[in-house]
Structure 1
Amino acid sequence: MKVCFVGLENLPVLAPEYNHHGIGGEEVQQTLLARALVARGYQVSVVVGDYGQSDAAAWHGITTYKTYRADAGIPVLRFVYPRWTATWAALMRADADVYYTSSAGTRVGLVAMFCRRHGRGLVHRLAHDTDADPEKLLIRYTRDKKLYEYGLRRADSVLCQHAGQQRALLENYGLTSVVADMLVDPPDRQLDRDQRDVEILWVSNLRDFKRPELAIELARRMPSRHIHMVGGPQPGYSELYSKIESAAKQLPNLTFHGRVPYHDVGDLYDRAKIFVNTSHTEGFPNSFLQSWRRGVPVVSFFDPDGLIKREGLGASPQSIDEMAYVADHLIADETEWRKASERCRNYMDRMHGDHVVLKPYVAAIEEAVRRRKKSRASSKPVWQ
């Protein structure tokens, strides 16, 4: 079976020579899933952006089809050319049985139209809690919101990250979905507590809803603890990045790394004692899984479906003062930290092994193929 992932920012995760470019959590998830499917005999491709690589270049058995440069085209007109046209052409070259999209955006609608026109299957996965709520979508234009909804409603299978998204999707769109847990790269090493020299770690893209200013405030309230902060500039958020970078320089107990390539950031997770998250909304952060796999407790304002509290994987404080207190306590109390660390590892072994995590993805892919085979005989025009 041929499966094509549509992730224009995936190449920096897939190919180390391009990892100086910025990435997000969903690029990591798509790439990990693509590699896992290759290992199980699927023929896998990815539609990616033009980073200067050759078309149809392959890494780890995954063929990539390039579309357009991020800065290509004339504003307004580039929505059609080269963005729409180049993406459509890459989908054609991939010639897959099933196409896989994730995150809310225009690509979902574009790929849905392609699949409907050519009788191919479509699997879509939510990547953020706001993806399930039309009033909170992280999409700027009404046109793009409509394209996203068009694609979402025409996906053959819809996956989500946790039960809260599943309930919201049913309530807001009337669509059923299946919860699919996330994959995680295994660490190359497991350091003992005494070998870990990063007391507190914060890793995220610098965007408003990530609330990086609270990481700065946390450092101010914990002068005896050292915080390492990782995050690169994002399009439209250059002012926020400059503000955070400037504030970090004023704090002797905060090391601001800026952007760290995906293939290098694992070293900081290995060395961390505590991971903190300051977002007020998320999907399911990859950073949680990377932390727990290494036995790093997570202290986060955002707790997906109450998982952190229920499983004892860290703490979910309600204020910055409480976050500072909990983080300090976990670092200082070796016995408590080791208990929490062991719970993190046990949870990951139980819930996030590939043999468990892959089941809903494989089922969704197979369901998409079955549905398309049934519908080909009675296919309708793309606009219906």
Structure 2
Amino acid sequence: MKKKICFIGLDNYPVINPKYGSYYFGGESVQQTLLAKAFAGLGFEASMICMDYGQADKEVFDGVIVYKVFKETAGLPVLRFFWPRITSVWAALKRADADIYYQSCAGIWTGIVACFCKVHNKKMIFRLAHDTDCIPGEQLIRFWRDRKIYEYGLRNTHWVAAQSRHQQALLKKNYNINSTIINMIVEIPRLNPERSQDIDVLWVNNFRTFKRPEKVLELAKLCPELSITMIGGAVPGNEEMFMKLKGQSENIANLTFEGPVSYHKVNDYFLRSKLFINTSDSEGFPNSFLQAFARKIPVITFFDPDGVIEAKQMGKRCSDLNNMAETIKSLILNDSERERIGTNGYKYVNECYGPQKIIQNYSRMMSNA
């Protein structure tokens, strides 16, 4: 009998169905979708729980069954916390009837899924997304109530997957919970050596405070000779930031502000780019890093998860914006150095982030429980 695994990712639908790619989604939606497809391809019965975008229930994409739950706007304020949100997700968890439930990102669903698994004698994997998932009171969670529900789930999950040694140490220090470091999964394309790279610098991220998108506009002013493309949409609650920066970008001639682009289309921009930048002050391990590495693009960033970028010579870590500008200008003028760094990243993701390798790591983690 096939082993069953269910992924709880309410924002995943725009990733698994390209027709809905203009809707908001985050990096964890990409990870969950790639993992679900990989598990399905290796013989698991994979399913996924997503919000209602108007789609049919129980659609199947690449072997993954998609159960829909509530609409984002459904229900009355306060009351909708319970109905239809928790009630519809609980019902979908039951319909999926999985052996293992997989949830990522700190939030109430960590606690709800853990409670469901305890009641129905199921197993749960929780994957850390951001370093703050491991720090009491600093989680990217708005309400005290929701933080407590999250912490209940964190303490009652069966396996925790971490992105880095730093996350692993934080989780142990702050919650006394053990975790297993498991790399993220990435699609690795075949590359055309003759591809045209007409974008000097690419930034891809969602608009939220810790991503510091305003730094891209400042960088464009420091590098007027370079073409910079900025891609990303507003995280709910950050619409004002998005509109403000969009308006400011119109006065910067060398900056192209694309706004939100679907996961399936954004990879074309990576292929066209010479360098990829990240302006966040901290994160876990961004999907965008892997997308860049898989396309032989050096990553220029202010933070370096576990020091791997510098250790493997896959990019450059910068101290401040002026340092980033000088680093970019230097690499743009040095084709051979960009090629060397890009090749290092490509080798690294092939060795450590391919689908079969990652599924093996998850299977090993679960067998050691």
- Structure-1-length-normalised TM-score: 0.93
Alignment-derived partner of residue 296 in structure 2: 295
How far has the Cα of 1:358 moved from its partner? 2.0
Q: Name the CA distance, whole Å, in 1 between partners of 2:363 and 2:251.
A: 49
The equivalent of 1:143 in structure 2 is 145
Q: CA deviation digits over 1:292-313, x for unaligned, max 9?
A: 0100000000110111111111
* Cα distance in structure 2, aligned partners of 1:364 and 1:338: 36
Q: 1:9 aligns with which of 8, 11, 14?
A: 11
Unaligned runs of 5+ in 1: 372-384
Q: CA deviation at 1:192?
A: 4.3
- Superposition pairs of residues 129-278 of structure 1, within 5 angstroms: 129-192=131-194, 195-278=196-279
Kept in 1: contact 2:187–2:354 (CA 8 A): no
Aligned ranges for residues 107-126 of structure 1 at < 5 Å?
107-126=109-128
Q: Does 1:26 align with 2:28?
A: yes
Kept in 1, the 8 Å contact 2:130–2:284? The answer is yes
SS in 1 for 2:216: helix
Alignment partners' CA distance in 1, 2:344 and 2:165: 22
Q: Which residue of 1 aligns with 2:89?
A: 87
Q: What do the CA deviations read for 1:156-201 (whole angstroms, capped 9, x no partner)?
A: 11101011000000000000000000111122533447x2111000
1:192-244 per-position Cα deviation (integer Å, ceiling 9, x unaligned)? 47x21110000000111100000000000001111000011221111100111
The whole-number CA distance in structure 2 between the counterparts of 1:28 and 1:249 is 30
Report % sequence identity.
44
Tell me, in whole angstroms, the C-alpha distance in 2 between the residues paired with 1:177 and 1:234: 29
CA distance in 2, matches of 1:148, 1:174: 15
Check 1:135–1:191 CA distance in 2 against 1; reply closer, same or farther (3 A cut): farther
Quote how far apart the aligned CAs of 1:135 are. Answer: 3.0
In the superposition, relative to structure 1, how do residues 267 and 192 fare at CA in structure 2: closer, same or farther (>3 Å)?
Answer: same
1-side partners of 2:343 and 2:82: how far apart? 51
AA in 2 matched with 1:161 = Q
Partner of 2:43: 41
Distance 1:366 1:109 in 2: 23
Offset, 1:353? 2.4
Contact 2:331 2:338 survives alignment (8 Å): yes
Q: Is the 2:104–2:110 Cα contact (8 Å) retained in structure 1?
A: yes
Task: State the 1:136 CA deviation.
Answer: 1.6
Structure 1 window deviating more from structure 2 (182-191 vs 216-225): it is: 182-191
Counterpart of 1:281 in structure 2 is 282
Secondary structure of the equivalent of 1:69?
A: coil
* 1:50 equivalent in structure 2: 52
**After superposition, what is the alpha-carbon deviation per residue over 1:112-145, rounded to whole angstroms, capped at 9, x for unaligned?**
1110001001111001111111132111111100
Per-residue deviation at 1:354? Answer: 2.6
Structure 2, unaligned runs of 5 or more? none
**SS at 1:274's partner residue?**
strand
> Which range moved further: 304-313 or 184-193?
184-193
Q: Is the 8 A contact 2:15 2:21 kept in 1?
A: yes
Contact 2:70 2:88 in 1 (8 A): yes
Letter in 1 for 2:53: Y
Kindly provide the CA deviation profile for residues 19-71 of structure 1, in whole angstroms up to 9, marking residues without a partner as x.
12121100000010110111110001101111111111111111111110011
Give, in angstroms, the shift of residue 345 of structure 1.
Answer: 1.2
Say which SS state the counterpart of residue 275 (structure 2) adopts. strand
Residue aligned with 1:275, SS: strand
- 1:181 aligned partner, one-letter code: N
133-142 or 164-173, larger mean C-alpha shift: 133-142
Counterparts of 2:77 and 2:127, CA distance in 1? 29
Question: Of the candidates 59, 62, 65, which is equivalent to residue 63 of structure 1?
Answer: 65
Instruction: Give the Cα separation in 1 of the matches to 2:367 and 2:66.
Output: 22
TM-score (norm 2): 0.97
Q: Is the 8 A contact 1:199 1:227 kept in 2?
A: yes
State the secondary structure of the residue aligned to 2:297.
coil
Measure the CA separation in 2 of the matches of 1:98 and 1:82.
24
Post-superposition Cα deviations, 1:56-101, rounded to whole Å, max 9, x if no partner, equal 1111111111110011111111110111101001111101111111
Q: Following the alignment from structure 2 to structure 1, what is the Cα–Cα distance between the partners of residues 350 and 12?
A: 26
- Aligned counterparts of 2:33 and 2:364: Cα–Cα separation in 1: 18
Whole-Å separation in 2 of the counterparts to 1:146 and 1:360: 30
For the residue of structure 2 that corresponds to 1:88, the secondary structure is helix
Please tell me whether the aligned partners of residues 227 and 255 of structure 1 are also in contact (alpha carbons under 8 angstroms). yes
User: Alignment length, in residue pairs?
Assistant: 367
Cα separation, 1, equivalents of 2:328 and 2:14: 32
